[in-house]
Amino acid sequence: MKNSILLVFLCFSFIAYSQLEDCSECDTKTYSKKDIAKNSLYELQLLRNEIFARHQYIFKDERLLEHFQDYSWYQPDYNNPPEITLNDIENTNIALIKSAESNIKNKRKRLISELKELKRVLKANDTITINLFLDNGLKDEVNAKEALNELASIFSKIDLKDINWYRDEAIYKVATDNGFLIRETSLRINGDEVIASMGDLAHSEIMKEPFKYGSNYYSESEYSSFWIFKFDGQKLRLDRHEVAG
């Protein structure tokens, strides 16, 4: 009996967390939202284009063309490009995938909007609104005010208009060298997690012998601080603050 219950649980877990791996059946099977709920934007874009690729469509985007050329089933006739006609099932699946893509893009816009608001209230020292973002996440901090100043400093160096995505991750990072140490400030987005960080990582590049006379640099000077936020699709909230060094 226990084994049967375990088998049912494992089957349910697989269904609940499965994702569409390819579009080999997109011409005969109509998919639903739950079938692509775990697919990333990058994966969805490839699935949608795969529907055309399986009709031997010749892509104008060279990188898409290179991607599908790795598959044995993709052998288009470059001398006689085919006229593509999709059936009703394929059109339905394309509409479904486009809708999922749009939802992810809108979620990204909402996340950036939340980050801009957090940056604004940090600059304005609007403690009431700041606390909404932190969700009492600094209640155990010994020097909460100092920590908050650090977070404000991190965001002051992040250009939220210049964050760029690669597949399903985004980053903005800047490093400064003040002749004593190299400090790196960054903001990374991966899924629903956002990490704002600041780290004094190494000695200045002008220090040829950083641990000899003439330098006041010690390894103990190295320090890193990580502010980990979670995004639920609408609100950005601090999950934890970690310090090393």
Q: What is the pLDDT of residues 3-57, one digit of tens each?
A: 544 444 444 444 455 789 999 999 999 999 999 999 999 999 999 999 999 999 9
> What average pLDDT is seen over the chain?
88
**Distance between alpha carbon 20 and the CA centroid of its chain, in Å?**
20
Q: Enter the pTM of the model.
A: 0.83
Task: Report pLDDT for 138.
Answer: 67
pLDDT at 182: 84
Least Cα distance to 101 among 56, 47, 164, 158 occurs for: 47
Spatial distance between the Cα atoms of 175 and 185, rounded to a whole number of angstroms: 6
Interatomic CA distance for residues 59 and 76, integer angstroms: 10
| Greatest mean pLDDT among 143-152, 185-194, 214-223 | 185-194
Q: What is the pLDDT of residue 145?
A: 84
Token code pair at residue 238: 């601090």
Percent of the chain residues past pLDDT 70, beyond the cut: 87
What percentage of the chain has pLDDT greater than the value 90?
69
Q: What is the dihedral of CA 149, 153, 156, 158, to 10 degrees?
A: -130
pLDDT score recorded for residue 186: 97
What domains, with CATH codes, occur in the chain?
A: 18-107 (1.20.58.1690), 126-244 (no CATH)
Query: Could you tell me if 86 and 94 are in contact, meaning their C-beta atoms sit under 8 angstroms apart?
Result: yes
Q: Among the listed ranges 2-11, 75-84, 89-98, 201-210, which one has the minimum average pLDDT value?
A: 2-11
Task: Name which of 233, 188, 179 is nearest 210 in CA terms.
Answer: 179
Residue 207: predicted pLDDT: 80
**Largest separation between any pair of C-alpha atoms in the chain:** 77
Rounded mean pLDDT, 60-85: 94
What does 57-78 look like in DSSP terms, one character per residue?
A: ---SSHHHHHHHTTSTT----S
Q: In this structure, what are the phi and psi dihedrals at residue 142, rounded to the nearest 5 degrees?
A: -70, -45
